[in-house]
Structure 1
Amino acid sequence: MIPDTSAQDSALPTSGPRKKRLLFAGILAIAAATGIGFQFKHTVNGGASYSRSRLTTATAEIGDLTRDVSAEGKVVAASAPTLYAGSGGSITLSVEPGNPVKAGQVLATITSPELVANLAQARSAADAVKSAWLLAQADTRLADASAEAAVQTTELGLASASNELARQTRAFDVGATSGLTVEQSRDAVARAKIAYEQAKKASTLKNDATRFELAARRHAYERAQLQVGDLERQQEELSVRSPVDGQVGQIFVNDRSTVAKDAKLLAVVDLSKLEVQVQVAESQARELTAGMPGEISGNGGQWRGRVSSVSPEVVNGEVSARLRFDGAQPEALRQNQRLSVRVLLDNRAKILRIARGAFVEEGGGRWAYVVTGDVAVRRPIRLGAQGMSQVEILDGIQSGEEIIISGSELFKNAERVQLIK
């Protein structure tokens, strides 16, 4: 048999190293218990703990608050009319984009055979109506003469019958004639009087009828003249003229092409009157009104401005507004050039203010965390006017108190938190 090595084995001493391992484990247990106790103490005294490095604080103070709106704007022409075709036809352009033009200068000409034909027909119709009106005037004068002659004839007959009655009456008085003759003469006078009255009435009625007829003819002629005038205006508009002094902007049609009525032709830019157009957020545009003062800066210069108009329409959450230069317009400005704009909304002096932060949007600005030592306590507040960088405090915070303006969303609305370095 081969002998084993059991005779060579010997027991090692265990008292020293084992005691060291037990001592190290005890130290770890004591340290863990101490940490738990420390954390428990902080939890009991101040709630959850957060590092100050993750928070932004500010101190409330008395000072001035300026509320304004700042935005980037672009230079636009205050007057940039777009010209349209008054009639359809073939267009011939006389200018190119960028050409300087004067008010009244012909920029393009439209040839419209249809309009020319309509104008000729309207003029011919107006001449025919005028001839009918003149003929009616001549007929009226002839009718007036006939009526007047009839009145004069009946008047002469009445006078003759009256004279005859007078002679027969004198003859009857001296016995030279019979009473029957006198009665016959009296009847003749009565008939002559009736004829005279009827002639006068007929003349009056005839005058009324001819007056109405002449008025109708005159109105027809005036309508024909209005049609001619409208077509002449349309023909005049075939020569497209510049309404202002300026430069030709964009041209929307090709030379020698056919355009329809009311088609967009070209734009003219009046560079003598420039404005700055800005896009303002809907929430800030609510307080913008025409006439508010502002500042325009760019190209190393700064100029005073004034809000000239505010669009009533909201597009993509923004409102378009325009500022005009208050005073002399600066030189060397170009269309669509970028400038900075600042509009002053309000200026309040000696109020309690604090730097603006995320706490304004969180909870609608109804509460904030006030820092006292290493503890932050949630406190209700009331805000007033709000500027771009500062807000007014109406209630809940005293001057000199420190509040957390950013980062408090980590607290998850806890009433009290502990702050650590």
Structure 2
Amino acid sequence: MRRTHSPRLRAATRPRLLTALLAVTVLTSTTAASCGEDKPDVTLASAAKNAVAEVIDAPATVTARAAATLTAPADGTLASLRVQPGQRVKRGQILAVVDSPSARQRLRQAKEALTAAKRAGRGVGTGDLSGSRRGTDKAADEAFDAARDAADKIADKQLRDALLAQVTSAQKQYAAAARSADRAVRSVQRGVAGLNSAVGALSSAQRLQAQQAYDLAKATVDALTLRAPIGGVVQPGGTPSGGGTDLAALLGGGQLPADLGPSAPTGSRAGPPPGVDDAIGVGGRVTAGAAVLTIVDTGALGLAAEVDETDVLLVRPGLTATVELDAVTGATYEATVRSVDVLPTSSARGGVTYRVRLALGAGKLGEGAAAPTPRPGMNAIVHLQVREAADAVTVPASAVFSADGRDAVWVVRDGKADRATVTVGVQGPDLVQILDGVQAGDRVVVRGADRVTDGQEVR
């Protein structure tokens, strides 16, 4: 049986099932058997060998490969617009230029602050205290040597010895004072080094802050020239919001490209009131974050289908599908499953579904002509062929019913109904594969099964 997951799909499928059942009734030359005056007739058909395919129907939306909205990096005016709506552009192409005196003023101020930070905080000057100490020691040694030479020239031994004793005492006193001075110098040097380190760290932090402010201001000015981060088709303003298709839907739940840079939108902003065009013309005022242009990459369209949890385990990458669009009556498109999401989404009808992403191929109209190229956001129905079997034992889908938690069919043997428990395989829209419990050629009840009892005569 064909599986569907919306009231509209079920309604669309019902006439096909009825037609198929009538066809099966005619082709198998079934007979009507009277089951008593108070019981309506039942209809029989024969199990037969057929090829059968199982198809899952799921609602879907056409998606673009990527989309990027370029926003104004600062308050200003739209100085120039170098593309037209609907024009195809290449990655890196200049699309528009925003004039922002405030952004350029911030850049000048940031540059001045950076220059000042680099000049400031070059350390604390203390003089060469160690070098001065060494000079003093040298002069003192020379003075003591000269005093000794002078004392040695005195002929009076007693006086000479007394003078030499005084020189030695003075030298010892100087040595003690020199040691104290040396400790003081080292102490001062340690204090000055600590002060220099603190001042240096502070200056480094100030320079880093000034550099970051300058880089940000320069990036903002550079971003006043809006370039296409991706190739695609240009449209004015941002993506629709408030009841329309949002950007996430256009991308099939994906994300914006990671390399949009300063032109990337930073958050959701309220658009213009209803009835007002959101396109910004040349000379128009823009505020920081306002959407100026959107580029949509339609080079490879896809589909985002919502598959019910009861069917998603049958879906795998590589499966083929046919697609019908609400916007193109009579056209059929080809598609291939690319991936199946691991995490579920909540269905609008309260159930659990999983998003299946497909690559959308070309389409054909009924007469074989090429179908028009869809646009992102269009509604579609995806028919996923999940299983198939060739030369399988099959019965009409209406023959299978549930009894005691198992699938079963009524098999007519020697004119009497016998309930047979069966194992169902591939479930096609009209036929169901029976793996065991029924053989080709067996007669089964295909209509009125709910009014048949075990052992009842059926002719």
Same fold (TM over 0.5): yes
Residue 16 of structure 1: aligned partner: none
Which amino acid counterpart does residue 192 of structure 1 have in structure 2? A
Q: Label 1:364 to 1:79 Cα distance change in 2 as closer, same or farther (>3 A).
A: farther
Please point out which of 254, 262, 274 is paired with 2:279: 254
Shift in CA distance, 209/51, structure 1 to aligned 2, threshold 3 Å: same
CA deviation map 1:375-401 (0-9, x unaligned): 333343443554555545455445543
Query: Match of 2:419?
Result: 378
Q: 2:283 matched to 1:293?
A: no
1:210 aligned to 2:196? yes
Q: State the Cα distance separating 1:124 from its structure 2 match.
A: 3.5
> Match of 2:297, SS?
strand
Query: Offset of 1:319 from its aligned partner?
Result: 5.0
- What amino acid does structure 2 have at the position aligned with 1:83? L
Residue 152 of structure 1: CA displacement? Answer: 0.8
| Cα distance, 1:218 vs structure 2 | 2.2
Q: Would you say 1:136 and 2:163 are equivalent positions?
A: no
**Structure 1 residue 176: deviation in Å?**
5.7
Residue of structure 1 in register with 2:64 after alignment: 77
Contact map agreement 2:56 2:311 (CA 8 A) in 1: yes
**Structure having the larger proportion of residues in helix:** 1
1:41-80 correspondence runs (5 A): 49-52=39-42, 55=43, 57=45, 59=47, 61=49, 66-69=53-56, 76-80=63-67
Deviations 1:64-83 (A, max 9, x none): 76545456867543123333
2:192 is aligned with 1:157: no
Q: Contact between 2:399 and 2:409, CA under 8 Å: does it hold in 1? A: no
Amino acid at match of 1:78: R
SS at match of 2:135: helix
Q: Which residue of 1 aligns with 2:165?
A: 179
Q: Which residue type is aligned with residue 136 of structure 1?
A: G
8 Å contact 1:308–1:324 — kept in the other structure? Answer: no
Measured in 2, the distance between the counterparts of 1:82 and 1:362 equals 57
Compare 98-107 and 365-374 and name the one that shifted more. 365-374
Matches within 5 A, 1:103-122: 103-122=91-110
The number of equivalent residue pairs is: 359
- Deviations, residues 267-315 of structure 1 (Å, cap 9, x unaligned): 32223333345454453334434x3332558999986734246484244
1:335 to 363, 374, 397: 374
Contact 2:46 2:441 in 1 (8 A): no
Displacement of 1:191 in angstroms is 1.8
Alignment correspondent of 1:316: 348
- Matches of 2:113 and 2:68, distance apart in 1: 37
Deviation at 1:217, TM superposition (A): 1.0
Aligned counterparts of 1:358 and 1:114: Cα–Cα separation in 2: 77
Aligned-pair identity (%) = 20
Give, in angstroms, the shift of residue 226 of structure 1.
Answer: 1.0
Maintained 8 Å contact 1:282/1:314: no
1:177 counterpart SS class: helix
- The within-5 A match list for 1:391-402 is 391-393=432-434, 395-398=436-439, 400-402=441-443
CA distance in 1 between counterparts of 2:96 and 2:302 reads: 28
Letter paired with 2:87 = N
- Structure 1 residue 162: deviation in Å? 5.0
Correspondence 1:102 to 2:102: no
Distance 2:195 2:417 in 1: 102
Query: Quick one: distance in 1 between partners of 2:300 and 2:333?
Result: 18
Contact 1:108 1:240 in 2 (8 A): yes
Offset at residue 188 of structure 1 (A): 1.0
* AA matched with 2:358: L
CA distance 1:294–1:179, shift in 2 (3 Å): same
Cα separation, 1, equivalents of 2:357 and 2:395? 31
Q: Give the conservation status (yes or no) of the 8 Å contact 2:96–2:226.
A: yes
Show structure 1 runs of 5+ residues with no match. 1-40
SS in 2 for 1:273: coil
| Bigger radius of gyration among the two | 1
Paired residue secondary structure (2:182)? helix
TM score, norm. by length of structure 2: 0.62
Cα distance in 1 between the residues matched to 2:406 and 2:285: 62
Residues 79 and 273 of structure 1 are in contact (CA less than 8 Å); yes or no, is this contact kept in structure 2? no
Distance in 1, matches of 2:209 and 2:290, equals: 29
SS in 2 for 1:191: helix
Q: What CA distance in whole angstroms lies between the structure 1 residues aligned with 2:90 and 2:110? A: 33
Provide the rounded CA distance (Å) in 1 between the counterparts of 2:357 and 2:56: 13
Of 285, 293, 296, which aligns to 1:269?
Answer: 296
Among 213, 217, 222, the residue aligned to 2:208: 222
* TM-score relative to the length of structure 1: 0.66
Matched, 1:126 2:123: no
Q: Give RMSD over aligned pairs.
A: 4.4
Cα 1:198–1:117 shift into 2, 3 Å: same
